[in-house]
Structure formats: structure tokens, C-alpha cells
Amino acid sequence: MDGTYRPGPFGRSLAWVTALYLVLPILIVIPVALTDQRYLSLPQDGISFRHFETVLTSPEWLGSIWQSFTIAVAATVLSVSAGTLCAIGCWRISRRATELVRVLMLLPLIIPSIVYAIGLYRYFGPLGLLDRFAGVVIAHGVTGIPYVVITVSTALASFDPRLEQAARGMGASLSQTLRWVILPRIAPGIFSGAIFAFIHSWDELVMVLFIASRDVFTLPRRIWDGINENLDPAMAAVAVLLILFTLALLMADRALRRRSEG
Amino acid sequence: MSSVGRPGIGWWLLILPAFALLLVFYIAPIVQVLTISVTEPSLGFGNYQRILTSSAVQRVIMTTLRICLITTVLALLLGYAIAYAITLASPRARGWWVLAVLVPLWISVLVRAFAWVTLLRRQGLINNTLIEAGVITDPLPLVWNEFGIVVGMVHYMVPFAVLPMLSSMREIDPRLLAAARGLGASRGEVFRHVFLPLSLPGVIAAAVLVFIFTLGFYITPAILGGGKTLMVAEWISLQILDLIRWGLGTMMATVLVLAILVTLAVFSRVVDLRRIFGAGA
């Protein structure tokens, strides 16, 4: 819009208040993490990095961070491979025939994770997947598939199907067409999907509360216990580290999209 | 693309891994657990009768519906203001507004709940500041009650409300607004008679999205409600993890899923669902 019509004073101020309401409470954890006190508070006589030091030298926190990271990487691999292939298949086969698959793909976004979590709690018991790395990877990987399907489908929407037909017409096999024609074109969409699937697993708590207990103790689980048991500034330091990590991932995604758009 | 003919079996095989994974590790566990609601403790609909007879069950449902409605209305109002500002902003300012919506969207829900606890609790930053300033003498009860839940939930839901409304507002031709102004309509009239009606599909989509997300939300109400104000998701978890009453817990889970699916089915006639969820990414 070229600026010929602007919101009035009421709309403008409500928008500003909302933006501050969205952003400020998140930023408040930064000064709290830098406090020189032993309890949750703003810095009194200067800032201190000791709460970051506490976190980054604690074997419990580092162990959970590493565990969350490896689970998220494995879950992302699962979501991206299954999701990308599914999106390509749905794109090539007609809309009508794949309607069921498309609806199925929306379910993990619609059904609350508490319902899935209690389902897994019962289902994983006999399979021996409770409190196992593999169990959490499966849970996170499967629920991450829709994010990949959505981003890859968006990327495919701008892909000319005649390129695929030309490749096939010139004798390329299905796997050659996938590898040399389709995948390179939709790589940015796949990467976006990977970032979303990664964040989905990295932040996930509800399933983990039910299907993991002692051996698998992810970062969100440790934060959850911290909030419910001992509120100390180390928690704020963890929050700041998480915010920085999320921002870095989002910036990577933005940069990549900008580059692919030219 | 019909000239090349029907896609071969190979393309169907591409769908197979995702389809099988979802069937075996998503649909099966959910269906299995929801059937418990009619098999435990005894076969039949005994658990569902509790909706009519148990005041505890009714209280949880009413609390959840009340918080959901309040949250949806507030998230829509605030989200509308932001989406409106983004639509009418200059390209430069637009980037910043979008950032103010997207960054909270992707920051961990735990981090956000923790931030609200820091601000709202008895010795929290807001109460301490107000006491030091002499405005109040006793700390206000800002958290571990319904107020705290609504503050945290609205904060979580505003970005989800913005996205569908924004995509619908972007389709409004800006020249319509300028034309209405030029024809002598006041700012309020332009908004009421031109902009608002054209943006309504997005508002309905946003309302559906926020409402169904809020219904089954677990983390924020559990942390900011402090165990005193129970919403459905936390109540289910309590039944299953602490009280080991699978029948009752899964009954409520079934009711929750049905409520969400019915809401979607009713509104799928009015709004395109794929558009709602497509906008989330």
C-alpha cells in the first residue's frame, strides 16, 4: 500500500499497545538473567553473568540441552524425509485422490497434544518405547510431518509441472527426476520445513511429560520442573539462551528465503 | 498436466512412508486410547453420564469454555489492531510489525510462561514496582488464578489470530479506502462500512483457530493457573497421571476432540480450513 490511507489514532495506539504486550514481557527475562542477586529480580548493584555460568557448567542443564538437540535432529530427519516425499506425491497425484492424506496431515495440528500424549503413554508401554530416545523421536518426528508438508507444498505450488513431464519424457526414471529436477528446485521449502520441524521437537513438552521420565529428560522438561519447583535466575539465563537460539534459527530461515527469492 | 496421463504407482509410493507413520504412530494410539472411555471401568457410556451428574466435570467444562471465549475475544481484538496496522503500514514499517508478531510466535511457550510468572507473581516485578511506588500496600493476585491464565493465553494466541486476518486484509484493494474517503466518508465510516466487512472472513478464520487451540491448551494454563484453576487439558493429565482414572480422563479427551472437530465442521462451510493452517507456516 502506498501510504494514502493510514489507521486512525485509536487503531494506531491499540496496535502499539498490543505490540508492546507481545514483545516486552519476553524481553524482561534479559535483565532478570543478568541480576547480581540470588533470587529472581532486576539487577541491584550492577550486572552479573554468573547465572549463565551456572547453567553452562551444570552437567544437568548441558545433558538436557544435548539430549534435546539430538532428539530434535533425529526427529527432523524423520519429518523431513517422510514429509517431503509425501508433499511431492500429493502434488503430482490429483487433489481428489489425495484428499484423505491431506486431511490426515492436518490432524496433528488440530488435535491437542494432551490427547496424543495420553494415547502414546498407553501405546508405547507394550512396545517398550517409554522413556526411550527412539520413542520421543518417533512422537516428535511424526507430529512434525505436517509442518514439512505445508512448506514443501507451498514451494511446489510455484514449480512448473511441465519440467517434471519433460524430464520423464526424455527418459529419466522417477528417482532421477526427483533427484535432479524436483528436489533442487524446492530445497528452500524443504529447509524451512526442517527449521519448523526442529523447533517443534526442540520446544515440545506435553508428550515428553507422558512418555519420558528419567533416562530421557529434555530441556523443556527441565525448564518445566524448574518453573514448578525452584524459580531462580538460572531459569532466566536458560530462557535468554533459548530466545537467542530461536532468533538465530528464524534469521537463518529469513536469509535463505530472501536468497531464493532473488 | 493431463496430457502425460495418470501418474504411476511410483508417485503413490512416495506418500506411503508418511501415511504409514501417521496411521501406526498417530491415529492408532489416539483411537486406542479414546476407546478406553467406553470400556473402563465397565463397558458402556457410564463415563459420559458424569457430564450430567458430576459437578466437578461440569465445573471444568464451564471454566474451560469461559476462559476460551474470553481469550478468543481479546486475542481477536488485539490481533485485529495489529493486522490492521500491518496492512496499512508503509513497506519499511511493515517489516517491524511482522517481526513483533512472528518472534513471539516462535519463542518457546515455556519461556513465555516463565516470563509472565516473573512479572505477575506476588514478589514479581509488577507487584514490587507498584508497592515501591506506593500505589498499593498488598500485592495484587495477578497469577495462579483465571486472570493470570487469560493474560498468558491471550499473549500466546494473538499471533495465531493475526495471521489469518492479515492474509484476508491483504486482499482488500487499498484504492477502495482512498475512494471512500474521497467521496466524503469519515475515517470511522470507511472502517465500518468498507474495511471491516471485507475483513470478516479472516476474523472468522482467526476466531475458529484461536478457539480450538485454546480448548486443548495445556502448558500455559497449568503454569499460570497454579493448579487452582483447572482447564480440560490439565484435568485430563491429573486423572491419568495422578488419579489413574483412565476412563474419566479419556472420556474428557474424547469430548475435547469431538468439540474441536464439530467446531471445524460447522465453520468449514464458512471458511477455507486449509487457508487457516496454511497461514501458520
pLDDT for position A3: 45
B105 and B227 fall within a common domain: yes
- Total residues belonging to chain B: 281
Instruction: Kindly state whether residue B247 falls inside one of the protein's structural domains.
Output: yes
Cα separation, B229 vs B234, whole angstroms: 9
pLDDT of B273 strictly over 70: no
Using DSSP's 3-state secondary structure scheme, residue B227 falls into: coil
| B21, B118, B187 member nearest A145 (Cβ) | B21
Calculate the CA dihedral of residues A212, A86, A153, B5 and round it to 10 degrees. -170
Overall average pLDDT of the A8-12 stretch = 86
The CATH fold assigned to A67-223 is MetI-like fold (1.10.3720)
Instruction: Kindly state whether residue B72 falls inside one of the protein's structural domains.
Output: yes
Residue B26 to residues A44, A110, A145, B116, Cα–Cα distance (Å): 50, 13, 11, 33
Overall average pLDDT of the A151-165 stretch = 87
Residue B120 to residues A69, A147, B140, Cα–Cα distance (Å): 31, 34, 9
Q: How close B238 comes to chain A (CA, Å)?
A: 11
B27 and B158 fall within a common domain: no
Please report residues of A whose CB lies closer than 8 A to that of B241. 210
Asked if A147 contacts A207 with a C-beta cutoff of 8 angstroms, the reply is: no
Domain that holds residue B112: 53-278
Q: Do B32 and A243 touch (CB under 8 A)?
A: no
B79 and B11 fall within a common domain: no
Please report residues of A whose CB lies closer than 8 A to that of B196. none
Q: How close A48 comes to chain B (CA, Å)?
A: 18
Q: Going by C-beta distance under 8 Å and a sequence separation of 6 or more, which residues neighbour residue B106?
A: A199, A246, A249, A250
> Quick one: cell of A81?
524425509
Which residue in A has a C-alpha nearest to residue B11's C-alpha?
Answer: A89
B252 and B136 fall within a common domain: yes
Residue to test with chain A: of B88, B94, B176, most A Cβ within 10 A: B88
* H or E element at residue A133: helix A133-157
ipTM for the predicted complex:
0.91
B19 and B110 fall within a common domain: no
Using DSSP's 3-state secondary structure scheme, residue A72 falls into: helix
Burial of B112 (0-12, 13-18, 19+ CB in 10 A): buried
- Give the pLDDT confidence of A89-121 residue by residue, as tens digits: 998 887 777 888 888 888 999 999 999 999 999
pLDDT of B279 strictly over 70: no
Q: Going by C-beta distance under 8 Å and a sequence separation of 6 or more, which residues neighbour residue A169?
A: B4
pLDDT for position B92: 87
> Quick one: cell of A87?
508433499
A-proximal residues of B, 125-144, CB under 8 Å: 125, 128
pLDDT for position B277: 62
Chain A and chain B share a number of CB contacts under 8 A equal to 279
pTM for the complete prediction?
0.91
Residue with cell 488464578: B145
Query: Where does B170-245 have alpha helices with state H?
Result: 174-182, 187-190, 196-215, 219-225, 232-237
pLDDT for position A126: 95
Percent of chain A beyond pLDDT 70?
A: 98
DSSP string, A102-116: HHHHHHHHHS-HHHH
Q: How close B216 comes to chain A (CA, Å)?
A: 5
Spatial CA neighbour of A112 closest among B76, B105, B108, B253:
B253
Instruction: Kindly state whether residue B45 falls inside one of the protein's structural domains.
Output: no
- Total residues belonging to chain A: 262
- Tell me the backbone φ, ψ of residue B193, rounded to 5 degrees: -100, -20
Residue-wise burial string across B243-255, b where 16 or more C-beta atoms lie within 10 A, e elsewhere? eeebbbbbbbbbb
| B103, B106, B110 member nearest A199 (Cβ) | B106
Query: Where does chain B have alpha helices with state H?
Result: 9-22, 28-39, 46-53, 55-88, 91-106, 109-120, 125-132, 146-169, 174-182, 187-190, 196-215, 219-225, 232-237, 246-267, 273-278
Which residue in B has a C-alpha nearest to residue A165's C-alpha?
Answer: B4
Check which CATH number belongs to the domain holding B254 and give it. Answer: 1.10.3720.10
Please report residues of A whose CB lies closer than 8 A to that of B173. none
pLDDT for position B216: 94
Q: Do B217 and A112 touch (CB under 8 A)?
A: yes
Residue with cell 491448551: B217
- Give the pLDDT confidence of B94-128 residue by residue, as tens digits: 889 988 998 899 899 999 999 999 999 988 889 98
B174 and B258 fall within a common domain: yes
User: Angle, nearest 10°, between helix axes B109-120 and A219-228?
Assistant: 20
Instruction: Kindly state whether residue B235 falls inside one of the protein's structural domains.
Output: yes
Give me the residue spans of the domains in chain A.
67-223
Instruction: Kindly state whether residue B46 falls inside one of the protein's structural domains.
Output: no
Spatial CA neighbour of A64 closest among A236, A244, A216, A243:
A216
**CA-based diameter of chain A, in Å?**
74
Cα separation, B88 vs A7, whole angstroms: 7
Q: How close B201 comes to chain A (CA, Å)?
A: 20
Q: How close B29 comes to chain A (CA, Å)?
A: 5
* Beta-carbon count within 10 A of A143 CB: 25
Cα separation, B205 vs B75, whole angstroms: 13
Q: How close A160 comes to chain B (CA, Å)?
A: 10
What is the torsional sign of CA B114, B117, B123, B126?
Answer: positive
pLDDT of B1 strictly over 70: no
- Tell me the backbone φ, ψ of residue B8, rounded to 5 degrees: -75, 180
Residue A262 to residues A150, A255, B65, Cα–Cα distance (Å): 22, 11, 47
B94 and B35 fall within a common domain: no
Q: Out of A102-116, A140-154, B3-17, B165-179, pick the least confident.
A: B3-17
| A89, A139, A147 member nearest B11 (Cβ) | A89
pLDDT of A86 strictly over 90: yes
Instruction: Kindly state whether residue B62 falls inside one of the protein's structural domains.
Output: yes
B13 and B94 fall within a common domain: no
pLDDT for position B276: 61
Residue B279 to residues B76, B161, B162, Cα–Cα distance (Å): 16, 10, 10
pLDDT for position B280: 38
pLDDT of A74 strictly over 60: yes
Answer whether B44 touches A (CB < 8 Å).
no
Instruction: Kindly state whether residue B153 falls inside one of the protein's structural domains.
Output: yes
- Give the pLDDT confidence of A178-227 residue by residue, as tens digits: 888 899 989 989 999 999 999 999 999 999 999 998 899 999 999 999 99
Please report residues of B whose CB lies closer than 8 A to that of A248. none
pLDDT for position A171: 87
B22 and B84 fall within a common domain: no
User: Angle, nearest 10°, between helix axes A219-228 and A183-203?
Assistant: 30
Residues B47, B53, B57: CA angle, nearest 5 degrees: 70
Percent of chain B beyond pLDDT 90?
A: 64
Higher pLDDT: B261 or B271? It is B261
pLDDT of A50 strictly over 80: yes
Q: Out of A92-106, B195-209, B225-239, B255-269, pick the least confident.
A: A92-106
Say how many domains are in chain B: 2
**Most confident of the following: A63-67, A97-101, B3-7:** A63-67
Cα separation, A123 vs B257, whole angstroms: 18
Asked, as a colleague might, if the bond just before B41 is cis with ω within 30 of 0, I would say yes
> Quick one: cell of B225?
493457573
Which residue in B has a C-alpha nearest to residue A174's C-alpha?
Answer: B10
Instruction: Kindly state whether residue B135 falls inside one of the protein's structural domains.
Output: yes
Q: Do B106 and A98 touch (CB under 8 A)?
A: no
Q: Do B253 and A118 touch (CB under 8 A)?
A: yes
